[in-house]
Amino acid sequence: MIAQILFVILLGVTSYFAFKRFQFVRRNILLGRDVTPDGDSSQRWSTMARVALGQGKMFTRPLAAIMHLIIYAGFIIINIELLEIVLDGLTGHHRMFAFLGGFYNFLIASFEVLAFLVVVACVVFLARRNVIKLQRFWMREMTDWPRTDANLILVIEVLLMSAFLSMNACDSILQSRAVEHYVSAGSFPISTFLVPLFDGFSDNGLIMIERGCWWFHIIGIFAFIVYVTYSKHLHIILAFPNTYFSKLQPAGSFDNLQSVTNEVKLMLDPSLPPPPSDGTPTRFGAKDVFDLSWVNLMNAYSCTECGRCTAECPANQTGKLLSPRKIMMDTRDRMEEVGKKIDACGGTWQDDGKTLLRDYISEEELWACTTCNACTNACPININPLEIIIDLRRYLIMEESKSPESITVMFNNIENNGAPWAMSAADRANWINN
């Protein structure tokens, strides 16, 4: 009974903290402007199935994709076992689903094979990050915490899978000795190789190790559930809504600001009624996270920090300051800061004198972007850093009249000559005479 009570307390504490954190993240995302994404639901479901569930965009790098798929499958399928563990913990049973017979044996065998493959894939990923040191994992935005976060999750996965296999190895020995409570069930193709490590222990020693691994496994999973909500690995959950609401229009298309469209319509037809207003001055573009759409903010929380966007960015490749990954990380960090200040002020926002523009993202970064869409094409879960960059640029130009000299010259030429070039309309055909 004591073990069951402890398990119920652990389950309740985990649920509470995970729920509170999800509430915080949801509230922060909804700080953004309300938008209605384009496209019908069938397109969206298809995109989500192909990109999030099927991981279709991962396979531009096949080796990494296969290893990621193994970890992904392991996370989803092995955690089916979590249902049995939870029921065992609540009821005091052991291997509650053993009545499934041969199918149960198949499941446990499949879980073990996947667990072993997950360990191998995690070790390879750790080597890629810390031994080979792939460049995209060591760029300037990848400071101590982002690197530690990625390594920590991989180490946790290795430990959890190792505990699972060790638990099964002890369980199989206890079953063979017909120890009470350890029903004969399951098939152990991988943990069989660990049996020699534990075969010399007494029954009581094996029970202690088996129970210790069981508790370590379940406490680790519960801790992971809470930790993941603070980590870049929140994409495990958010990848699905993020791809569902991703942009379905052609990558190079941009939407006009509705506020500008309304102004133009009124200029062309003054008899039109002005659009309804809530009394808040209209802002052109984005200066802070409140000015971005909730989809942009969900993109930021969904970022996997894999760096594929930055690795494909031509501006970054030529040494410029822009990193699309940093744009998403900065947006998420600013959201976190704003959310904490709102909570500290009793649920209301009080200006802290900071903004996403300049305090997090510099003008130099914004103007380095060529709007080529390489970052959006490279992202494995359809994150769109370009939309954030464009909205911040719009603010600079339309609110502050600030732009690099080359762009200012182009604007002046369009205004004066009706074209980007410094020549009058009458002189445009003179090149024919040369």
109-118 pLDDT tens trace: 888 899 999 9
CB atoms within 10 A of CB 428: 13
pLDDT tens digits, one per residue of 148-161:
999 999 999 899 89
pLDDT tens digits, one per residue of 33-69:
998 887 788 999 999 999 998 888 998 888 888 988 8
CB 238 within 8 A of CB 52: no
CB atoms within 10 A of CB 205: 12
pLDDT along the chain (434 residues), means of 10: 83 93 96 86 92 90 88 77 78 77 86 91 94 92 92 91 90 87 83 91 91 88 90 92 91 79 84 74 87 96 94 95 96 96 93 94 95 94 95 93 89 86 79 72
pLDDT of the residue at 278: 65
CA distances 384 to 52, 246, 297, 308, 364, Å, are: 15, 8, 10, 12, 19
pLDDT of the residue at 327: 97
Domain 258-269+281-417: give its CATH code: 1.10.1060
Residue-averaged pLDDT of the chain: 89
pLDDT of the residue at 202: 92
pLDDT of the residue at 21: 96
CA distance 275 to 291: 19
pTM of the model: 0.88
pLDDT tens digits, one per residue of 197-226:
998 899 999 989 988 988 898 888 889 889
CA distance 129 to 344: 37
CA distance 296 to 168: 44
pLDDT of the residue at 125: 94
pLDDT of the residue at 237: 92
